[in-house]
Amino acid sequence: MMEMNQQNIIELLQAEHNHPEWDEPIVCRVEVDLPAWLSKLAGGRDWEVYSEAEEENCVSFAMRQGSTRNPKQTPKLAEVTLYHNGYAIVDVDGKSLFDGTLTSGANDCAHLTYFHADSGEKITLN
């Protein structure tokens, strides 16, 4: 038993020595094309952000669609809340259109970028 524990410790130390980057803090940034995403979710075009509020764990965007180009058309209003953990909620005219994660890879309007937390250097994944 003691021999097995020593072998595991040796393998762990070798792995840490050979791959020290596994122990470095990494930052993941999610970039979202909000107008394109709302066009896909709610239809229509000309979505614009008209206000933004940042809180400790999220950023909320108030958006509207095409209000200035056609005064006869009542603009749709949306609230998009992006949480720092990759979760998002989208409501358009009081109706929930999205409630889930942006980081699943199924959303082509959201892109993940990784950085070394200490240096800010971008990490390229193969």
> E strands, 74-109, where?
77-83, 87-92, 95-101
pTM (2 d.p.): 0.70
Please report the pLDDT score of residue 114 as a whole number.
84
pLDDT tens readout for residues 4-43: 556 666 665 665 555 555 677 888 888 889 999 999 988 8
Of 79, 88, 125, nearest to 110 by C-alpha is: 88
- Looking at residue 82, its pLDDT comes to 92
Site of tokens 């005064």: 71
At residue 11, what are phi and psi to the nearest 5 degrees?
-65, -40
Confidence at residue 26, expressed as pLDDT on a 0 to 100 scale = 82
Distances (CA, A) of 45 to 41, 64, 75: 11, 10, 11
Strand order in the sheet with 95-101: 47-54, 58-65, 77-83, 87-92, 95-101
